[in-house]
Amino acid sequence: MRHLALTALRDHHAEGAELYHEFLRVDSLSAGLYVLPAGEPDPQTPHEEDELYVVLSGSASFTAADETTLVGPGTTIFVPAHQVHRFHDVTERLEVVVVFAPPESEQ
């Protein structure tokens, strides 16, 4: 078992200059905290892995393929590998836990 406190995840994320900070990697999956400031574009491109997003805080729109939805705290989204997707119209700093299965490819 691994215990991960949200405050510690936020602190580790703040230490780096990247939007995404991976906090867990095991054979079957990887996970990280993704933070987008209000008004900032989401630069991500499709991934080789399936993804699960869980919005912790903030407000934005999310588009995958041709479907758009509003997201906020508690929103959970599954995106299959290779599907074009992104957050946009971020109106409040967005914090999202992202889970990749299998683990995200090293780039």
Q: Which residues, given as ranges, of the chain have pLDDT below 50?
A: none
The pLDDT tens digits of the residues spanning 58-74 come to 999 999 999 999 999 99
Q: Is 44 helix (H, G, I), strand (E, B) or coil?
A: coil
**pTM, whole model, 2 decimals?**
0.92
> Residue 9 has what pLDDT?
87
> Residue 94 has what pLDDT?
98
> Residue 32 has what pLDDT?
95
- Sorted by where each starts, the structural domains of the chain and their CATH numbers stand as 6-101 (2.60.120.10)
Task: Kindly state the DSSP code that residue 66 receives in the 8-state scheme.
Answer: T
Q: Is 6 helix (H, G, I), strand (E, B) or coil?
A: helix
> Residue 62 has what pLDDT?
98
Rg (CA), the chain: 13
Q: By the 8 A CB rule, do 33 and 96 touch?
A: yes
